[in-house]
Structure 1
Amino acid sequence: MARLLRIARRYWVVTLTLAIGLLGVVLALAGAGAVVPWIFSGYALAIAAWQAVGMVRDILRGHWGLDILAVTAIVATVLVGEYVAALLVVLMLTGGEALEDYANRRAKRELDALLTRAPQLAHRIEGDEIVEVRADEVHPGDVLLVRPSEIVPVDAALRSAEAAFDESSITGESVPVEKVAGDAVLSGSVNGQAAVEVVATATAADSQYQQIVALVTEAAASKAPVVRLADRYAVPFTVFSLALAGVAWWVSGDPVRFAEVLVLATPCPLLIAAPVAFIGGMSRAARNGVIVKGGGVLEQLSAARTAVFDKTGTLTYGAPTLVAIRPENGFGEDELLTAVASAEQYSSHVLATSMIAAAHDRGLHLDEAEWAREAATNGVQAQVGGREVVVGKFRFVAEHAPDAARTPIAPGELAVYVAIDGRFAGALLASDRLRDNARATLERLDELGVHQTMMLTGDAQATADHIAAELGITRVRADCLPVDKVEEVAAIAERPVIMVGDGVNDAPVLAAADVGIAMGAKGATAASESASAVILVDDISRTAKAVEIGKDTVRIALQSIWLGIIVSVGLMIVAAFGVIPATVGALLQEVVDLATILAALRAIGGRLDAKAATPVMAVPAASAR
């Protein structure tokens, strides 16, 4: 009951229209039916005047909309004495607006979920006390308590030994993610069944969840160009409707025929179809881990002909892994890897993580260093187990081991050289792996009509050619600076152009492309902020999914628009022969409104999306030593 009252208050004009209709029925039953035509007609004309004010303002701004038909239909039915039909037209007009609003709320459910779930409070541990503070009062380093089923208020690191978090609202991962002490915990994720302690690593404003919310707000506030497509039909549809109604009046000699035609010419289907479809498409994209910054982006995606990709972190995982160990001078593979991983424990370079992980995978025991120092951009020097270990670039290692020799590497590989006690000990080879679903993504894009592909990268030509050959990409530009990428994209003839990237250096080209798509799973960086769409999961296949959603959304929007036009025109032609009374016509137009809204709501998608979405775990980004 309370919900019905809220709906009645929200759509008060519809409520008032229904109340007027009920009042007319009561008066008729009470023997006072003579006043009913005056009440219905007066109310209908008042609503027509209210609508006319807005219509005139639009015309003065140079915008010819479809409201003129609704206003004309109300006035015409009143003038010919069809006062019941006049009230039904008012109900259709106000009810159509209410249905549009309700449909929008339904379609934006997934988008609004991010906004309404934004964490507001945090429980900060201060000594032996737990103090409840606002999320925006949390500072990096604060120790927070997150109770069972609570939302993590800010980005943090897990302090407790282990925990499980539901990250579905952030990454689309449907299975709770297991964390251990030290692991990063995203704001907006939901804690499991046990209270845990976390250490804040960012303020609320800088946290992942708040940045995603900002992107969602921007997306929800946008209006797609194709929404204005309905307005392009305004003038011809209005002229046709008035002409048909005029001809029907002239041929029949009955002014009632004019009103009967116009009752069925009311434009609600055109006004409702496109907005509902595009908001539904944005909602579907969000459910599939893609934040789209406006319906216009979906329209561009639907027409895309070329896809351009960055390499590192986009087509590849962006994290080098150990692929080969080449010992020299009598050293063994395990001995060499143990020495390197022990020394790299004191390095902050991403390659250090790869070497340490490889040693752990082999079950090797790492020693503590007596001392260690890192030479920025060159490597690490450490005293491990009484031996001096030098790890890094060839030139840096050769300074400590004159017998060092370069090792042959394949395209896409990099070598880490090692010296132990002044002797060259060998090299370890690492490679950035191609994403498992990269080729499948390109094939799916081709099926969707994006036949041209290109790779732009700052890496060397040999590495770029190697990756491109594996994927079947024929157009490659290597050794690119950010400005080079922008120029290359601007020169592409087959448009619209999609650009997919993940780094700060991709931000200019993402903004320059017709549709820039940022791989934003590692955080909302400059790339995410400048892009037209952001993929929240570390899964390149969502690029193809975004194109698919764009095509489906535009198709459904246009289908819904034409559905409204065709059905309305068909009914108007029938009404021109006097077959459909004005009152019946008004009721039929309500059915047309409902059919149009239901057709447009198909853009929200269904359960197939959830079944098809395969979560992919994020991998840390990398850079070459």
Structure 2
Amino acid sequence: MERAESIEYCGHESHHHHEGHIRDYAVIAVSAVLVGLYWFEILPSIFGMDTALLAAIICGYPIVSEAVKAILQRGDTKVGLLVSIAIIASIAIGEYFAAAEVALIMTIGELLEHMTLEKSNSALRKLAELAPLKARLIRDGVEEEIAAELVAVGDRLLVKPGDKIPVDGVVTSGFAAVDQSTITGESLPLERREGDSVFGGTIAVTGSIEIIATKVGQDTALGHIIKMVKEAQDSKAPIARMIDRWANWFVPLSLAIATLVYLVTGDIVRGVTILIVFCPCAMLLSTPTAVAAAIGAAARRGILIKGGEILETAGRVDTIILDKTGTLTVGKPRLKDIRCYGGWQREQALALAAGIEKRSEHHLAKAVMQAADAVGAQYVEPEIWKPVVGQGVAAELQGTRYLLGNKTLLESYHIAISEEQEQYCAGEQALGGTVVFFVAGEEVAAILVIEDPVREEAARVLNKLYPAQVSNVVLLTGDAAAAGKAIGARLNIPVVHGDLLPTDKVEYVKKYQQAGHKVAMIGDGVNDAPALAKADIGMAMGYTGTDIAIEAADIALLADDLRKIPEAIAVSRRAYRTINQNIIVANVINVAAIGFAAWGLLGPVAAAIVHNAGAILVVLNSARLLRVATAVK
């Protein structure tokens, strides 16, 4: 059986960072003391060496050595090289105090940047801390406490009030109110009883349940969240890649300007000051800090954004395309009516229909099987079973062909329906019902009408999205156009298209993209996967959606809640604005500082302060995004 692998988040990295911080503190403390001794002339020299020069060597050596390693190992000639040149140049012209101050302030600034960045990444550590350490295993009727990583798929577990649920599973008995806010962002505890799914890392607030483990370790919802957020935060947005390429020009450009200032003014101190202020630290930090903060904050609200590029693109979305079933509807359809023909009986038709649907993952299949169970029908499974994507299922039993699906499936097999059947279907579809045809041989044996309630929050969410946030909202559905238009009219969706195959949905996505729109496709099923992949941004509704839809999507909404859609867009747009703010601030500070340095109004020490102040300002501005997810309602 599959066993859990423990969920970890860079424990060794955290230890490494901790040791690095201690070393930085020590270097800063020693250098600061030496600089103070030199400044106040208490001990201007030690063993014939200026105290300030000693401080510059102690504090500057790590900076220079890292720059050399970066050049030799990665060919990186960006920030570290400029700082190193500035320190060495200051020492070369005898500005020992300036060299020491530059190295000291740079080290302090870098330490503060790392600490602030780690705070931005704290979302991951907090998620990892949710992983439970213990589980109550029930074996042969006896309760045994074991480590959570030892739980295997299929194990029966007991969860008592106040316990963290150790793994993903299905409730087999009992009742509990479960706080899922850490995984899905839902604020109120949900009632979980027999047949309901539960997530590892959530808490049973009241009540006691027994569960069967279905996913363990890194395969759980929590494990996937940690993995996806880590990958997302490590990824780069297009604007970040552009800035990285731009930064490659900074070293030759800064050297050229510093040389020009020196040649014009004859003041080498001004040239060295130019080198100090020219470092693009603030600009290089502008995007990764904002991406890390926004993705971490969104994850705490149950919105998984799979990368910096996706975050940036989502901030420019102007067209929303929605699937109907399971997206605008609750995804829990029920059989409203069944009308039989040609001597077929209700129980007989349901027994065969349920047997055909048994292997299907479509939402409507559940409604058919539940209806069959309700009348006690024994499933009659076919000998041959063939899914027809976007249309239904073709099956065969004892030489007879059976079809179960929509009108397009009937047309594919040249099955005609009567005028009375046509009118009956039109009437039900006008009320928002979905019609499923059951065909035996060449004749319609039954018509099943399935209804799936519209989500309570759908109207409010769509009113918030259109036209305030986006310029187009489109409903695409594989159901009959009449059923789709009934839903569209109720929710004020301006454009509705029905009777669509998965390839048709892709074509509509392309159509809007070719018109210059940034398209977000929102769905939850296998049929939605091609359109989710084709759209600029694909959003999968609910972690309980099909795995293929989750994989195809760029953003996974862990809670089955439409309100997460405007939240995801709002967070993305706030992040995009923050990135642009950071870039503007970084460039304004750099350009102004270069001007002051060229005119001799800014010395090396002041330049180091201004440079690091800009970088810290950018990081702090990005850190504001950590509060965005809780502010968006």
Q: What letter matches 1:261 in structure 2?
A: I
Task: Map Cα deviations across residues 422-448 of structure 1 (whole Å, 9 max, x no partner).
Answer: xxxx99965223333334434433456
**Contact 1:510/1:517, CA 8 A, preserved across alignment:** yes
Partners of 1:530 and 1:601 lie apart in 2 by 30
Tell me the residue number matched to 1:577.
599
Tell me the residue number matched to 2:11.
none
Tell me the residue number matched to 2:625.
603
Distance 1:37 1:135, change over 3 A: closer
**Contact 1:277/1:603, CA 8 A, preserved across alignment:** yes
Task: Tell me how far 1:310 sits from its aligned partner.
Answer: 1.6
Task: Tell me how far 1:64 sits from its aligned partner.
Answer: 5.5
Task: Tell me how far 1:258 sits from its aligned partner.
Answer: 1.4
**Contact 1:18/1:91, CA 8 A, preserved across alignment:** no
Map 1:172-321; keep pairs closer than 5 Å: 172-192=185-205, 196-204=209-217, 206-234=219-247, 238=251, 241-320=254-333
Task: Tell me how far 1:200 sits from its aligned partner.
Answer: 2.9
Tell me the residue number matched to 1:116.
129
Tell me the residue number matched to 1:556.
578
Distance 1:228 1:416, change over 3 A: closer
**Contact 2:64/2:80, CA 8 A, preserved across alignment:** no
Distance 1:552 1:159, change over 3 A: same
Task: Map Cα deviations across residues 61-99 of structure 1 (whole Å, 9 max, x no partner).
Answer: 5x6634443222222222222222222322343344433
Tell me the residue number matched to 1:53.
68
Tell me the residue number matched to 2:428.
409
Task: Tell me how far 1:109 sits from its aligned partner.
Answer: 2.3
Map 1:380-529; keep pairs closer than 5 Å: 407=424, 408-411=427-430, 412-414=432-434, 430-447=450-467, 450-491=470-511, 492-493=513-514, 494-523=516-545, 525-529=547-551
Distance 1:445 1:229, change over 3 A: farther
The partner residue of 1:165 within 166, 174, 178 is 178
Partners of 1:559 and 1:9 lie apart in 2 by 31
Task: Count matched residues.
Answer: 562
Task: Tell me how far 1:242 sits from its aligned partner.
Answer: 4.1
Task: Map Cα deviations across residues 24-83 of structure 1 (whole Å, 9 max, x no partner).
Answer: 54575346354314313434663453243245348x85x663444322222222222222
SS at match of 1:10: helix
Distance 1:258 1:448, change over 3 A: farther
Task: Map Cα deviations across residues 470-502 of structure 1 (whole Å, 9 max, x no partner).
Answer: 444455443333333334423431243211110
Structure 2 unpaired stretches of 5+: 1-13, 340-345, 359-364, 383-391, 394-403, 407-419, 438-445
SS at match of 2:177: strand
Distance 1:235 1:299, change over 3 A: same
User: Are residues 1:350 and 2:363 paired?
Assistant: no
SS at match of 2:452: strand
Tell me the residue number matched to 2:7.
none
SS at match of 1:537: coil
**Contact 1:117/1:188, CA 8 A, preserved across alignment:** yes
Task: Tell me how far 1:578 sits from its aligned partner.
Answer: 1.9
Partners of 1:462 and 1:238 lie apart in 2 by 64
Partners of 2:569 and 2:17 lie apart in 1 by 38
Tell me the residue number matched to 1:616.
none
Task: Tell me how far 1:280 sits from its aligned partner.
Answer: 0.9
Task: Tell me how far 1:309 sits from its aligned partner.
Answer: 1.8
Q: What letter matches 2:630 in structure 1?
A: A
Tell me the residue number matched to 2:113.
100
Q: What letter matches 2:57 in structure 1?
A: G
Tell me the residue number matched to 1:422.
none
> Percent identity at matched positions?
31
**Contact 1:170/1:189, CA 8 A, preserved across alignment:** yes
**Contact 2:304/2:555, CA 8 A, preserved across alignment:** yes
Task: Map Cα deviations across residues 243-270 of structure 1 (whole Å, 9 max, x no partner).
Answer: 5433442343221121233322232211
Give the structure-2-normalised TM-score: 0.76
**Contact 2:429/2:480, CA 8 A, preserved across alignment:** no
Partners of 1:100 and 1:502 lie apart in 2 by 40
Partners of 1:276 and 1:511 lie apart in 2 by 27
SS at match of 1:153: coil
**Contact 2:323/2:475, CA 8 A, preserved across alignment:** yes
Partners of 2:16 and 2:80 lie apart in 1 by 29
Tell me the residue number matched to 1:146.
159
Partners of 1:467 and 1:79 lie apart in 2 by 76
Q: What letter matches 2:529 in structure 1?
A: A
User: Are residues 1:591 and 2:607 paired?
Assistant: no
Task: Tell me how far 1:100 sits from its aligned partner.
Answer: 3.2
SS at match of 2:166: coil
Distance 1:500 1:91, change over 3 A: farther
Give the structure-1-normalised TM-score: 0.77
User: Are residues 1:35 and 2:53 paired?
Assistant: no
Partners of 2:323 and 2:354 lie apart in 1 by 31
User: Are residues 1:540 and 2:555 paired?
Assistant: no
Partners of 1:351 and 1:121 lie apart in 2 by 38
**Contact 1:556/1:600, CA 8 A, preserved across alignment:** yes
**Contact 1:67/1:267, CA 8 A, preserved across alignment:** no
Task: Map Cα deviations across residues 197-252 of structure 1 (whole Å, 9 max, x no partner).
Answer: 33334444554333333433332332222222432442565566445433442343
**Contact 1:309/1:315, CA 8 A, preserved across alignment:** yes
Structure 1 unpaired stretches of 5+: 327-336, 358-365, 379-391, 395-404, 418-425, 614-625
Tell me the residue number matched to 1:399.
none
Partners of 1:289 and 1:5 lie apart in 2 by 30
SS at match of 2:241: helix
Q: What letter matches 2:506 in structure 1?
A: V
User: Which runs of structure 1 show a deviation greater than 6 angstroms over 4 or more consecutive aligned residues?
Assistant: 3-6, 322-326, 344-348, 352-357, 375-378
Moved more, 136-145 or 557-566: 136-145
SS at match of 1:199: strand
Distance 1:300 1:182, change over 3 A: closer
Partners of 1:528 and 1:461 lie apart in 2 by 26
